[in-house]
Amino acid sequence: MNIDWHGLIGIARVARGRAYVPYSSFAVGAALLTGSGKVYPGCNVENASYSACICAERTALVSAIAAGERDLVALVVVAGGPRPVPPCGVCRQMLSEFAPELPLTLANLEGATLETTMTELLPGAFAAKDMG
């Protein structure tokens, strides 16, 4: 499948604009491309009970899974800041459950990008096979 990284960055930027971040003011957007060709946007949503917060990457992932998707093709994450920001540890673990080789492009608002994979971000990820 041909991946339109530029288009995915645009979708993630729009999703970032929908983030609900009254506590951190750190908005993040994501765009997850699936094997069906559908793109699932995600944004971070904060809550006064911090443990109830959800990251943009997991918002996109759970939307895709809820729609019946399992074949993850590519992910873009867009955030403000001086450098492209990688997914947090929880997001890395969740994404690796479904696509341990998933290619990612991380971008900031100034246009800097970093291409990576889930394996590079989370080597030795815990998986179902580890449960015996």
DSSP per position, 68-101: T---EEEEEEEE-SSS--PPPHHHHHHHHHH-TT
How does pLDDT run across 28-43, given as a tens digit for each residue? 999 999 999 999 999 9
State the pLDDT confidence band at 129, using cuts at 50, 70 and 90. confident
How many Å apart are CA 27 and CA 53, to the nearest integer? 12
Give me the active site residues, please: 57
DSSP H stretches of helix in 1-132: 5-16, 56-66, 89-98, 118-121
Q: For residue 96, what are the contacts with CB-CB under 8 A and spacing of at least 6?
A: 102, 118, 122, 125, 127
Please tell me the CATH code under which domain 5-131 is placed. 3.40.140.10
Cβ 28 vs Cβ 77: under 8 Å: yes
Sign, CA torsion 111/81/24/88? positive
How sure is the predictor about 128, in pLDDT bands with cuts at 50, 70 and 90? confident
Number of Cβ within 10 Å of residue 62's Cβ equals 14
> CB-based contacts of 80: which residues, under 8 Å, 6+ apart?
26, 27, 108, 109
Encode pLDDT of 69-90 as tens digits.
999 999 999 999 999 999 999 9
